[in-house]
Each structure stands twice: as C-alpha cells, then as structure tokens.
Amino acid sequence: MMNKLLKTSISCLLLASGLTFTACDSDEPPVVPPPANSKYTVGANVDGEGYYLTTDDIQTGDISVVGNGFEGWANLSVSVDGYLYILNNTEALTEKFELTDNGPVKVDAISNSALVPEGFFRYIINTGTGDLFLMDFPNEEGKAPYAIIDLQGFTVESFGLMDVPDVNGKNALWTNALVEGDKIYLGSLYGDRENWTQLSDSLITVKYDYPSLANPEVLVSTASAGTTAGYRTNGTFKVENGDIYQYNLNSFQWNGNDELAGKPTVFVRIKDGEYDDSYVLDVSAEYNEPIAIWNAWYAGNNIVYANIVKEADIPAWGDLLQNTGTLVEINLASKSVTELNLPKATYRDVYSLNCIEDGKFYVPVSVTGGDANIYEITVGGGADGFRKGARLDGSNVFVNALVKNF
C-alpha cells in the first residue's frame, strides 16, 4: 500500500520562484518501527562519481554501492525523524527523502537558486530546533548566504545574506555554524579576502541571536591561530552539558605565515556564551613535530575522534588524499590523546559522519590503493578498542557519508 505521504507528494510539485515557496508535505510522524534496510545511509565516491544506499548492517559482510544504491551525492546530508535531507549542489536543490523499505524515496525539494546566487550552499546543518540551516562562506562584501528551512512543513522560513563583521581590519573568509538554544555560533577564519593572506593570529567566533541572526558579538581566543570552522566537518560542537568545544585547523599547507602556521593545534571551550580561557587542550604538545587536525567528530561522553596528519607527511596539498591520516581518541575531560591502531588512511573527504549507537562510534576507513571498511569503535576504548566491520568493494571506494537514520 502506497504511503500517504508519498501519495500526497506525487500529486504536488514544489514551486520555488522568486520569493514564493510552496511545499506539499504531511505532519504525520515517521513510521515506527523503522523500515527495513534504512537504518544507516552510506555515501561514497567511486572513481569520481557519487553513490549512496541505505542498509541495516554496517558491521558484517560486504556493501556494494555501485548498482545497488542510488547515483548522486549524499556527502552533504542530515537525517532527521525518518527523513534524509540532501544538499544537491549539482542541481541547486535541497531534497527531502522519506526512508522506506525500498530505500530513500524523494518526496519534496526546494530550489536553492531562488535563495542564493548560483543556488550553492556549502553546509547543511540540523540545528536541533526543528530547522535546517544552510550556509556558504561570506562573499566579497562580507555577507554569508544562508537559508533556514522549517522541517515540519519543509518550507523556507527565511533566507538572505547575514552580515559577518570585520575584526581588527580583517575579513571573515571561512565560516560554519552551530546552533545552541537561542544563539548561533559561527566558527571562522579571518584574513584578507582579496588573496586569503594576513590571517588572524587568534581564534574567532561570531555569536548571533537565532533565528533572527541579529546582534552579532565577536568572541576571541588567543590560544592559537587558524580556522574554528573546520574543513569538511564542523570545527565547533556541543557536549551533553551544553558547553561548546572547538578545534583549530592550522596548517603549513595553506597558512602563508610560518610563524602563525607553527602555532599549536588545540581544543578550546565556549562556556556561557564566551571563550573560557581556563580551558585549553594542546594536542600539539603530544607530538615532537608539527601536526594538524583535518576533521574531527564528537562521539559523546567527552570523547572526540580526530584525523591527525603530520605536516611532514604532506609535502604537497594533494598528498592529503594518500594514507596520511591517523585516527586519534581525544578525551576532552582528562585531556588525553590516544592514537588508535587503525590503518593510516585518508579521512579528508568524510563530510557527513553521525553514526553513534550503544556506546559505539562507526567510522569509514578508506585506504588509498586498498579496501574500504567501516570500523566499530568502542567510545573511550583506547588504542585497540575497535573491530573491523563491513567491507566496501573495490580499492577505489572512498566513503564520504555515514549516517545513522534510526
């Protein structure tokens, strides 16, 4: 029997033209129990082409995305209450899929070209407040394109250009957002927008009221330099008690100032809306050579898993795609840093990773020239607290998304 939501969506089309938006949707809650074969979403890059599928098993056997899943990119995606939302920049759409026994079924879409020039957004964020927040870097006028989408009706609540203030004569170059309560925090990289030089010697975050995006307030930490926006993943995340932590991406690969590039890789804390100068976790102090964190993911209970790359292993930018990344377990409370005895791999292009269940953190390990596997890691389990899970066929498979849907 065809799902009521699917019937409704087939009979309706989204109109997104100019400033007019209509969407056909249902207020029905997601089906419980969850549909078969939809517990997880796996997205992958295979020879430069995007594929994704849903599955109920990422711990055993083989997963083949080519010929068994869907063509397209799910690397920029979030899963909320039985629906998968994909930022499709190829077609300038934000797409909504219902997760069913037959996999993801497209039920709606919003045209991003009516919201921003070229219809491009770099990030899609589940705010936890019933909204999706879409955003891109600030433009040459220091204004960052954004849109807020209401999840219940899948309608555009607001969109436009948010002002990102200059700080000490420097411009915001790179931004990513986190919503906490009635505030939104923009982790940022500041410098000269003309050529991305003269980078700030501090860590900078801009705090706004949410969802009005009014009353910007600049927060500054002198603990190090670099971007607090992250790279593929967000550099800002919150823990169970509401505190916010950030790591800085600071690398000789792109920071033209060797003095600033040599500043340490750290975790800092925002508490009660301000940088807490009493907390700094110096990850670089655990190494006798320069390192950088290119991605990091919060797994709960004050545990972060981070992709650490030694600068000496990447003499050229392209070497980030080689097996240079080391996954480490970082305890924010005890300030311990433990390298996991996993294969060295490229974790650079893991965009969406939100797969935590029963004290386990699941992460794709894609080895250049070798196999790709999903590993089950016991959160807080230390160097050997993991086991190898499902294998993805072929040495040319690079997993860019792994999401727990239910």
Question: Mind listing the pLDDT tens digit for each residue in 124-135?
Answer: 999 999 999 999
| CA 254 from centroid of its chain's CA atoms | 20
pLDDT in the model for residue 8: 34
pLDDT in the model for residue 32: 60
pLDDT in the model for residue 256: 85
Residue with the two structure tokens 């045209």:
111
Contact 287, 310 (CB under 8 A): yes
Q: What is the pTM of this model?
A: 0.91
**Residue-wise pLDDT tens digits, 379-392:** 999 999 999 999 99
pLDDT in the model for residue 117: 86
Positions in the chain short of pLDDT 50: 1-27, 29, 31
**Closest Cα to residue 308, out of 349, 273, 275, 346?**
346
pLDDT in the model for residue 203: 98
SS3 320: helix
SS3 179: strand
pLDDT in the model for residue 316: 82
Whole-angstrom CA distances from 91 to 16, 83, 84, 118, 389 are 14, 20, 17, 10, 34
Give the integer Cα–Cα distance in Å for 181 and 238. 11
What would the two tokens of residue 274 be? Answer: 């301000």
pLDDT in the model for residue 80: 98
- Which strands sit side by side in the sheet containing 336-339, from one edge to the other? 291-300, 303-310, 325-331, 336-339
pLDDT in the model for residue 393: 83
